[in-house]
Structures are given as structure tokens and as C-alpha cells.
Amino acid sequence: MRRLAAPFSAILVTLALAAPTLACGGLIGPNGAVNLLRTTTLAGYHDGVEHYVTAFEFAGGGGAFGSIIPLPGIPTSVVRGGDWTLQRLVRETDPQPLFFDALGTAAASPRVIVLQQVRIDALDITILKGGGAEIGVWAKDHGFSLPPDAPEVLDFYANRSPIFMAASFDADAAAARGQAIGDGTPVHLTIPTDNPWVPLRILALGKSAAETVQADVYLLTDDRPALLPAPGSKLAEGGLALTHSDAASPQLLSDLRSDKGMEWVPQSAWLSKIAIGATAANLRFDLAIDASGGGKPSLRDAGFAPFGPLPAPPAWNPLWVMLLVISLAVPLGGGWLLGVALRNAGGGRPLAG
Amino acid sequence: MSYWRLRSAALALLLLAGSVAGCSSGNAPERVEIRIHYSHFDPSALTVPHGVAITFVLINEDPIDHEWMLGDAAFHERHRHGTEAHHGLRANEVSIAALTTVETTLTFGAPRSLQYICHLPGHEAYGMVGTLTIT
């Protein structure tokens, strides 16, 4: 999906605001307690580089809590995110008080490649590369209690991109640092990729089929983006609604650009907001975005092509070619023979009188 | 090698295979494989005869731990509220660590119907339930 890159200078900013029930977009800590109130994710895309900012709000308690988030590529840097970018985006379309912060997990397992480890405040961030089973074992080895749908969900992502961010939030360390409930730590990942998408299915991890997943996804693109599934479409199972779609205000872009690490925000952009409200049973897809103007978001990026790339178009194999030749040759040859026979018969007999 | 020699060799192999199969179907327990994939039992319905030792081969293909708990309704009701973190001392209560295979052998005394369920939190509700019919 290089189409998002250079020629169009596409810029995509995604902000996923998870409701309190979305705590721990990925995994839940060893004691099963949910102490992360809200996960927030921002993904910005410009010239082939995705800027991914996520933050969790810490709701108190002790011990360690974690989350695993699938990523479209390997980050070249993992740093502390800006202080107010997420809040500012939300305020643009939905003026209400918001809190951010507190992520979850990190470490290493036999067949998982640990690509990067970073400590940000009370967060331990680990970038991992591995298959679904390997990531699952790694998480288990590092104290996570994975819900029963984790094996399938991890495979769902690993077969498209084997890169995951594991974040563990050390509540004791947070308390020692003087962090209060509601304090957060945003994290900014820079990910070169030609394949941006917003992970949505991970939000349903560990939920019963009837539970509702609610989140807001903000997109900031050069032009009006094409989305898959399109909000309101049958594919979206009624779980996505486009609630804002307009040119981003110069003031918003200026505000975003002035935050730490947000210099890449362009001079003009299109702001979209997609409200997600789906049952966990129906939220079995991700959000694919084509901001190139081509209007063709990837079926695979949306997760509709199960487990891996779409099947290649059928190739011409010799058997099919032979069958085709035979199927054409039989009627044509028969017709020719019939014609010859009729001609011969006609030539030997007077047509009239 | 001539055609007749080949035929004789093939016949000998067939006879050998037959005798091995005959041995294995003697006193050795019957083996039944149950795969665990994406937190579901496969197969989720089994039928076995009573009075015969059955070895259940429990293959956990998932990266998470599971249980195979076999019993009647009262048994399962107890385990829904149980506190044992690990099973292994009783043949009908088996813990299967992630990506491992465990075997357990049971002989059933009379025809009846039982269920096998994983009682780890959330697993039964997710569908980790199977039925064993003993004929």
C-alpha cells in the first residue's frame, strides 16, 4: 500500500479513544484486575512513516498491568509522547474532559525476537516480533493472563504483521514516582510503513460476545480518506459511524504541530471521526485507510482476508490450458468436419431439378 | 527384482502389519485424540465403549494453558467454583500447559454421558465444552 506515501504526501492521524470498558486494549495483568481506565491511540501517517501515540489512564492499585498492541511495522524510535496532542484532537470534535495514560508490558521468550525495550516513566515498552503463538507464550511467561480468545486474535494480527508492542505499567513504580490516579504517560512510536491500519478487533479481546466496545477513531489525512469497512456499511455490522468529516481547522493543525514530536503535522488536512459502538462478537475487523485518493482501502488490512495475504489470482496451469483448448477444439473441429461432409454431400448431388 | 519377488515381499509386509495391528488392539488401551485449538475442543463430541481402557491424548495447540475436566453435571458445578490452580493427580482432571500434549487413561464402568470442560476463567463460556458418550 505504498500508495499512501510520497506522491500524495498523505498524512493520517488516528486517535482511538477507548471507553472505560476498553481498559487494557490487549491483555489483563496477572491478578485479573483492570486498573487501566482508558486506552488512547493516535496514529499519524506522512510520507511512509506512521506516528503512533498511545496512552493509558492509570486508575490506581498496585502490581503490574499490561497491554499488547499490534503494529503495522517495526518502530525506529519509541519515545515519550507529546503532552496534550490527544486531548487537543478530542476537544476539536468532542469537547469534554478526557484523561490519558498508563500502558502495560515488556520482556523476552524463546522464539520471540525482542526488537526494542524502552522505559518511559513507569512504563516498560517492548517491541516484539513473532507469530501469534510465540507472542502468546511470551506474554504468559511474563505474567499475563490471556483470555480464551487470545490465541485466535493474536494469530489474526500476526499473520498480517508480526510486530507487537507490549507495555507493562508498574503501578508500584508509578506510586513511587508520585504519579496519581488519572496521571498518564503517552508514548510516541515512529513506524516506517506503507501499510497503515487501525487495530480495532484487539479492543474486543477478553470480552463476552454481547459486550459492547465503544471507541472514537480520529483520522487526519491530506484528503478525504476511503475507509474499509465504510462506516454505516453492512461490512461494518452497524458498528462504525462517521460523525465528523471536514477540513481540519488551521488552529487545530497549528496546535498539534506545536506539541512535542508533532512537527510532521501538515499545513492542511482532512479531519474525520469514526465512532465505534459494536458488540465484541461483531467487531472482528480492523480499519483500513486509503488516504491516497485512490479510494481502495485494503481488504487484507481490514482483516477481511483471513490469516494472511489475499489468495493470488489463479494462474494459468497447463491442465486448464489443455482443457480450454479441448473445449474449444471439439465444437470447432466438429463444425468444420460437419461442414466438409455437407459440402461433399452437396457437391455430389444436384440441388434441384 | 522380479514381479513374483515383489509380490511376495509385499505380502510379507502386509502380514507383518496385520500382526502388529492385532497386537495393538489386544490389551492396549484405545487412543482418542482431542485437539485444543483457539480455545475449543476438537472433536467436541466423542463416543467410547465402557469396560475398555481409553487413553485420551490431549493436544494443546494454543499458547495459553487449558484444562480437560471430565465428569457429570455435579462434578462440573463443583469445579466452576473450585480453587485448584492445577490438576494432575486424578485421571479425569487434567491441566494442559500451553503448546503441550498430555495423555490420560480412563476406563468407564457403565454407559452414560459426561462432559469435558475447561474451567479456567472464561473458557467454558467461550465454548470449551465437549460431550463424551459411553456406550
The ipTM estimated for the assembled molecules is 0.74
Cell 486494549 belongs to which residue?
A25
Q: How far apart are CA A272 and CA A223, in angstroms?
A: 10
Q: How far apart are CA A47 and CA A12, in angstroms?
A: 10
Q: For A284-333, what is each residue's pLDDT tens digit?
A: 899 888 877 788 888 888 988 654 444 444 444 555 556 656 666 666 66
pTM of the model: 0.70
Q: Which residues contact A131 (CB under 8 A, 6 or more apart)?
A: A111, A155, A158, A162
pLDDT at A37 (0 to 100): 38
The stretch A72-83 carries a mean pLDDT of: 82
The stretch A157-182 carries a mean pLDDT of: 79
Query: Which is nearest to A164 in space by CA: A201, A125, A120?
Result: A125
pLDDT at B88 (0 to 100): 64
Q: How far apart are CA A291 and CA A59, in angstroms?
A: 36
Tell me the β-bridge partners of A118: A125
Interhelix angle A150-158/A132-141, nearest 10 degrees:
130
The nearest CA of chain A is from the CA of B44 a distance in Å of: 16
Choose from A201-215, A232-246, B83-97, B106-120 the range with maximum mean pLDDT: B106-120
Cell readout for A300 is 487484507
Cβ separation A148–B122 shorter than 8 A: yes
Name chain B contacts of A145, Cβ cutoff 8 Å.
121
A55 in Cβ contact with A40 (< 8 Å): yes
Name chain A contacts of B98, Cβ cutoff 8 Å.
136-137, 140
Please check whether residue A350 touches B, CB under 8 A.
no
In which band, very low, low, confident or very high, does the pLDDT at A152 lie, cut at 50, 70 and 90?
A: very high
Spatial strand order of the sheet with B93-96 comes to: B45-48, B129-134, B112-117, B66-71, B93-96
Name chain B contacts of A151, Cβ cutoff 8 Å.
37-39, 62-64
Choose from A113-122, A291-300, A303-312, B123-132 the range with maximum mean pLDDT: B123-132
Cell readout for A144 is 499475563
**A225 burial level (CB within 10 Å; 0-12, 13-18, 19+):** buried
Q: For B11-37, what is each residue's pLDDT tens digit?
A: 343 333 333 333 334 466 799 999 999
Q: Helix/strand/coil (H, E, C) string of B22-75? A: HHHCCCCCEEEEEEEECCEEECCEEEECCCCEEEEEEEECCCCCEEEEEECHHH
Strands (E), A229-296: 240-247, 270-279, 287-290
pLDDT at A176 (0 to 100): 78
Write the single-letter amino acid at A266.
Answer: P
Cβ separation A137–B98 shorter than 8 A: yes
Q: Using CA of residue A291, residue A15, residue A69, residue A151, what is the dihedral sign? A: negative
